[in-house]
Chains A and B, each alone.
Chain A
Amino acid sequence: MLHELTKGIIKENPLFVQLLGVCPSLATSSSLENAIGMGCAFTFVLIFSNIIISMIRKFIPDQVHIPAYIVVIASLVTILEMLMNAFVPALYAALGVFVPLIVVNCIVLGRAEAFACKHGVIASALDAVGMGIGFTFALSLIATFRELLGSGKLLGHVVLGTAYTPILIFILPAGAFLTMGFVFTLVNYFRQRGEAK
């Protein structure tokens, strides 16, 4: 059972290993705060969608399972939008269009298809928690590099001191591609070294 929880964090990390959810991780990683916010919002949707889909999996005929899942996920995202707008409006404004776009995030539908529709409620919930943590971890890692190099701060606090001139490019769109490119290079490097052994 514990395996369902831990596999999403490193071994089957949704971003680094499965290469899913690239769009939001590029767009919302310009600061660590946004990245953690996005990770939590995403985990919220994933946990509930996995639980609900695992509960209704036996009642949905196979031919219409995709539209039914999309309806469930879209409703969860809409509810999330309202909750965020009510309780964390600043974060909601910062993430912008990427909150409603969790609907078409490949990870959520992917986990529903690959896991929740075949497993029980508890296993599906654990799977979602693991994947959520894995995604948030990957996102935060990229955001840490970008915010630290691009503004010399972390979570809004000055870390690198006033003598450091921020390399602006890292918080601009181009920096998102660049950072992600190098992070993936590192991930590949360690994976290939691991395989060679």
Chain B
Amino acid sequence: MGDSIFGILFGSIFVSNIILSRFLGMCSFLGVSKNFNNSLGMGAAVTFVMLLATMLSYALYHLLLVPFNLMYLKTLVFILAIATLVQLVEMFMKKTMPALHKAMGIYLPLITTNCAILGIAIINVDNNYNFAQSIANSIGTSLGYTMAILLFSCIREKLNEDQIPKCMRNLPIALITAACMSISMMGMSGIH
């Protein structure tokens, strides 16, 4: 089941959750998760860009880098492609969907340096995934990201009302909360 589409989808949402067990995209995770609505926006933006970036990097890798035997340039090509993609998406959105741009726009520039996007592009290539598997992996990963950041923001909103020792406020308590969530995710491993 490991390489089947369902296996990859399930694995990337729960078992190897991008945040809680692979530690990618932590900066945005800790930065934006202070409130629920921001987390929703960030989750949607990551899902959208990750899907596009996966398709683009897959095409670039298999149509451009492999035929010319330039696989070693993948990091360079992928980061440039992602940076350009994010710029284009932002411009396109501003013109055609101003409402969506207003909701998602401020998160887009943050995504270029979100290591989750580049990470998934590289992981797809390293695991020799085909097109369908890459898409399944990116959808699963972004759903896993959105799930983790939404759950986390709910807990953090409540935490703000609690009496926490001064030196543990904000980041330390957020990390300890993430540890508890990560423990619960461990129960999922070994299922596939």
A residues contacting B by CB (< 8 A) are 19-20, 22-24, 26-27, 66-67, 70-71, 74-75, 77-78, 81-82, 97, 100-101, 103-106, 109, 169, 172-178, 180-182, 184-186, 188-189, 192
Of the A-B pairs whose beta carbons lie under 8 Å apart in the complex, a sample of 6, sorted by A's number, is A70-B79, A71-B80, A106-B113, A173-B186, A184-B175, A185-B165
* Count of B interface residues, CB-CB < 8 Å: 43
Contact with A along B158-192 (1 / 0, CB 8 A): 00000001111101111110111011001000000
Report chain A residues within 8 Å CB of B180.
174
Q: Most B CB atoms within 10 A — which of A71, A105, A178, A192?
A: A178
Interface of chain B, main secondary structure: helix
Q: Output the least CB separation between A83 and chain B (Å).
A: 12
A77-B75, A181-B176 known; A22+B168 contact, CB < 8 A: no
List B contacts of A106 (CB < 8 A).
27, 113
Q: How far is the CB of A132 from chain B (nearest CB, A)?
A: 19
In the assembled complex, the Cα of A118 lies from the Cα of B167 at a distance in Å of: 35
Cβ–Cβ contact A185 & B167, under 8 A: yes
Q: Which of A23, A67, A74 contacts B26 (CB 8 A)?
A: A23
In the complex, A97 Cα to B22 Cα: how many Å? 10
Give the Cβ gap from A142 to chain B, nearest Cβ, in Å.
Answer: 11
Closest to A20 in B: B27
Instruction: Spell out B's residues near A (CB within 8 Å).
Output: 20-27, 30, 72-76, 79-80, 83, 112-115, 118-119, 122-123, 126, 165-169, 171-176, 178-180, 182-183, 186
Once the chains are docked, how many angstroms separate the CA of A40 from the CA of B27? 22
Residue in chain B with minimal CB distance to A96: B126
Do residues A101 and B115 form an inter-chain contact, with CB atoms below 8 A?
yes
Asked if residues B75 and A78 are in contact (CB atoms below 8 Å), the reply is yes
Which 5 A-B pairs have CB atoms at the shortest separation, nearest pair first? A181-B175, A177-B179, A181-B176, A174-B182, A189-B167
Cβ–Cβ < 8 Å partners of B126 in chain A: 97
Identify B172's interface contact among A70, A104, A173, A185, CB under 8 A: A185
Q: Which residues of A contact B174 (CB under 8 A)?
A: 181
- Using A22-B30, A100-B75 as known contacts, say yes or no to A174 and B80 having CB atoms under 8 A apart: no
Q: Give CA–CA (A189, B165) in the complex, Å.
A: 10
Cβ–Cβ < 8 Å partners of A182 in chain B: 172, 176
Tell whether, in the assembled complex, residue A172 and residue B186 are in contact, meaning their CB atoms are under 8 Å apart: yes
B1 to chain A, nearest CB (A): 22
